[in-house]
Structure 1
Amino acid sequence: MKHRIDVRGAMIPNDYKWYYDWFGEDSTCPRDVMKVLSAAVPGDEIEVYINSPGGIIDVGSEIYTLLRSAAEKHDMRIYIMGEACSAASIVACAAYCEMSPTALMMVHCVSSGARGNHSDMEHMAEVLRTADQALCTAYTAKTGMSESDALEMMENETWLTAEQAKERGLIDKVMFQEPEEKQPFVAAVNFHLPSSEQMAKVKAMMEADTGDGTEKEKAVKIARARAELLSLAERKLMD
């Protein structure tokens, strides 16, 4: 069975959900996510669609944790449709993720509207640094980047296209792109694997060979087969 989770609008605490709903504004709280997950059984498919500017950091952390835990027992895929900014970029790291080529991702440091004297501000600065370190673990776990690189990315308020997010390992695929065919690596000059047509022709020759004849006759057959295959390869190059 397939289940859908929408992470849209502001990411807010459960107690604020009624307020946003009353005004008809998009929002997502942990209870929204938990409601869908509680209806899923192990093995079910879960699709998560993100278009969110972010929100409260502990809400982002809770939703990330819910999804990452669920991904261990469900086939989960995350799709970034419009934007995955701030706390929403944390959520995008919870499982396999694809991103629309027109979408944006933004990562930055945690902020606060703290007020008070210099001691309060110094204390809040330390709290914010600690929060940054905690949240950056989602990026390091997804990408394998170092903590210092993740924190630098956050410090610079980094905006990323789908291609840039893929290059950094923050997503797994850009949506609508066909996977590139992998070519074998070789360490030789003018080396090419035989084509499927060449292999099929040799296989037919092998099946037609009864095994009769002298060694000289077999050598002639092999030489003739090589000549035919070379001719086939040359015709392909000219086509």
Structure 2
Amino acid sequence: MIYIDVKGEVVASGNEWLYSWYGIQATSPSQITRALKGANGQPVTIKINSGGGDVFAGCEIYNELKSYSGEVTIEIHGLCASIASVIAMAGNCKMSPLGEIMIHNVSTSTSGDYRDMEHSVEVLKKANKTIANAYILKTGMSEEDAYKLMDKETWLTADEALELGLVDEIMYSDEKVDKSLLNSLKNNAITFCNTVGKIDNNLLAKFKNYKPKINHPVIKNNNQDDFLVQKNKAKLQLLKLKGGIQ
């Protein structure tokens, strides 16, 4: 069994270096693609603890997992929110009794006149439809029910997620979902962002243009202290760019 982490912010390929530089966990499609290629068809377990992130990056990860030639098992170990919850729909899903799933609408920021606003509304609605498809395919729920969950920004415990069919099993338990029974009960009874928190895109752009004067610790007399001082200065500059300090 090969274990692959989906932890921290879900980011577009090429942005991982910034998060890694500051010790912030992040996962990109390219990282998952490399890991799956390395697994070479062997069974993989995807361990999720993520608040979400970039919609298109998350959808790419979902597609990579769905098209993988081997068996894919998803394990939700903690938070599985936003686009991370879409990734969780890509395989047989187990959830820790200590975990939570959060489902909500796609969001973005925009500016302009009323035409720009109306255009953004239409684009967001289509993005929501895209996201909803993952929940519908996994559970068999109606599009209307998926939209209701997203509109409410729904937080689900393991038991609640199991009842809806979003997960197949609660970890450390023998309880498994009977999807046919759940469907029967339901029939008889009645740049986008999809994330909890992330580094702002404008900040990312500013930081990419910022070039701190950091001397490589090996090149400059192997001075680790100097490297750490310069790294802390870079962190301070990042805070200034973010507006956290004056």
TM-score (norm 2): 0.70
**CA deviation after TM superposition for structure 1 residue 151, in Å:** 1.0
**CA deviation after TM superposition for structure 1 residue 138, in Å:** 0.3
In structure 2, how many angstroms separate the alpha carbons of the residues matched to 1:171 and 1:179?
11
In structure 1, how many angstroms separate the alpha carbons of the residues matched to 2:136 and 2:125?
16
TM-score (norm 1): 0.72
What SS does the aligned partner of 1:139 have?
A: helix
Structure 2: which amino acid aligns with 1:4? Y
CA-based RMSD of the aligned residues comes to 1.3
Residue number in structure 2 paired with 1:82: 78
Percent same amino acid at aligned positions? 40
5+ residue gaps, structure 1, are: 183-239
Structure 2: which amino acid aligns with 1:148? E
Residue number in structure 2 paired with 1:61: 59
Residue number in structure 2 paired with 1:7: 6
Structure 1: which amino acid aligns with 2:45? E
Residue number in structure 1 paired with 2:200: none
Structure 2: which amino acid aligns with 1:138? A
2:159 is aligned with 1:163: yes
* 2:104 equivalent among 108, 118, 121: 108
What SS does the aligned partner of 2:94 have?
A: strand
In structure 2, how many angstroms separate the alpha carbons of the residues matched to 1:170 and 1:16?
30
Residue number in structure 2 paired with 1:226: none
Q: How many residues align?
A: 177
Structure 2: which amino acid aligns with 1:41? N
5+ residue gaps, structure 2, are: 179-246
Residue number in structure 1 paired with 2:23: 24
Structure 2: which amino acid aligns with 1:57? V
Residue number in structure 1 paired with 2:223: none
Residue number in structure 1 paired with 2:129: 133
What SS does the aligned partner of 1:134 have?
A: helix
In structure 2, how many angstroms separate the alpha carbons of the residues matched to 1:136 and 1:178?
29
Residue number in structure 2 paired with 1:230: none
**CA deviation after TM superposition for structure 1 residue 13, in Å:** 0.6
2:148 is aligned with 1:175: no
**CA deviation after TM superposition for structure 1 residue 129, in Å:** 0.4
Higher relative contact order (CA 8 A, sep 6+): 2
In structure 2, how many angstroms separate the alpha carbons of the residues matched to 1:174 and 1:168?
13
Residue number in structure 2 paired with 1:49: 47
Bigger Cα Rg: 1
In structure 1, how many angstroms separate the alpha carbons of the residues matched to 2:153 and 2:165?
17
TM-superposition CA deviations, 1:133-174 (whole Å, max 9, x none)? 011100000000011111111111110000000000000011
Residue number in structure 1 paired with 2:149: 153
Residue number in structure 2 paired with 1:91: 87
